[in-house]
Amino acid sequence: MTPTSTETGAKALDGKHAVVTGGARGIGAAVTRTLLSHGARVTITGRAADPPADTIRALKQCGEVEYAIADVTDADAMKLAFENAIARSGPISILVNNAGQGASAPFLKTDAKLWRRLMAVNLDGTYHCSQAALPSMLAAGWGRIVNIASIAGLRGYEYVSAYCASKHAVVGLTRSLAMEFVSKGVTVNAVCPGYTETDMVTNAVANIRAKTGRTADEAMTDLLARNPQKRLIQPAEVANAVAWLCLPGSEAITGQAIVIAGGEVM
């Protein structure tokens, strides 16, 4: 009988190199921590020259982590960052396209600059990074791409047309890539959280307060009104779903948009 990984002390993602974009904050940091707990080496990418030191220090206590400065909207910068990550930590087995931005405005006040900014980060960034990571996966005959989308990628919401459009596009790209690489050992899925306890929600509450004069509690109640559980999703809940899609036993799951939103979308 072949010993299990638990019996040998090995972890399920030992030997796997994961890249997590925007991996130093919020959902990205939770995903990084969870992948490390399963044995992966992780390269975090981010725009900040000075990422949160406490977070990076804590992550390094969990496993092998490197931080690369690169903006997902810059194709050349991301290509170089991925090449350096491969040279340092080996071929990329897992890509988590987490970097994203949100903004709200009535559609007629959504100018081209706002529209283009959200498309550049949320959609173009996913495109650039997937192109940079896929050659490693195809060469190995194994790979996992998980795109952090949103329930706004599955339904419409007022006052966030640019964000909804960008996340719908990410879900569409997910499904297309899943079909294209279904026979190559590479799965591509999206995880679609509802409002999650991150800086993005903090900023959304501040925006509601500034525009309506409501209190922080009233603004939060508005955000959670559609969630049957009436609570924020926790980053660790999203991270657990991401890890599940990368772990053994998920090989048949591809092209899916998995909702983590307390029953808001069924």
Which residue in the list 67, 157, 163, 195 is annotated as catalytic? 163
What's the DSSP call for residue 248?
Answer: T
Nearest to 236 by CA among 12, 10, 26: 26
Residue 163 falls in the annotated catalytic set: yes
Q: Which helix H or strand E contains 32, and what residues bound it?
A: helix 26-37
Provide the Cα torsion 121, 225, 260, 63; round to 10°.
70
Burial of 225 (0-12, 13-18, 19+ CB in 10 A): exposed
Distance CA 100, CA 25 (A): 11
Distance CA 118, CA 145 (A): 21
Nearest to 118 by CA among 99, 138, 103: 103
Q: Which helix H or strand E contains 171, and what residues bound it?
A: helix 161-180
- CA of 185: how far to CAs of 130, 212, 266, in Å? 15, 50, 29
Structure tokens at 152: 């706004």
Distance CA 208, CA 25 (A): 23
Distance CA 191, CA 257 (A): 6
Distance CA 45, CA 82 (A): 9
The type of residue at 254 is T
Catalytic residues: 163
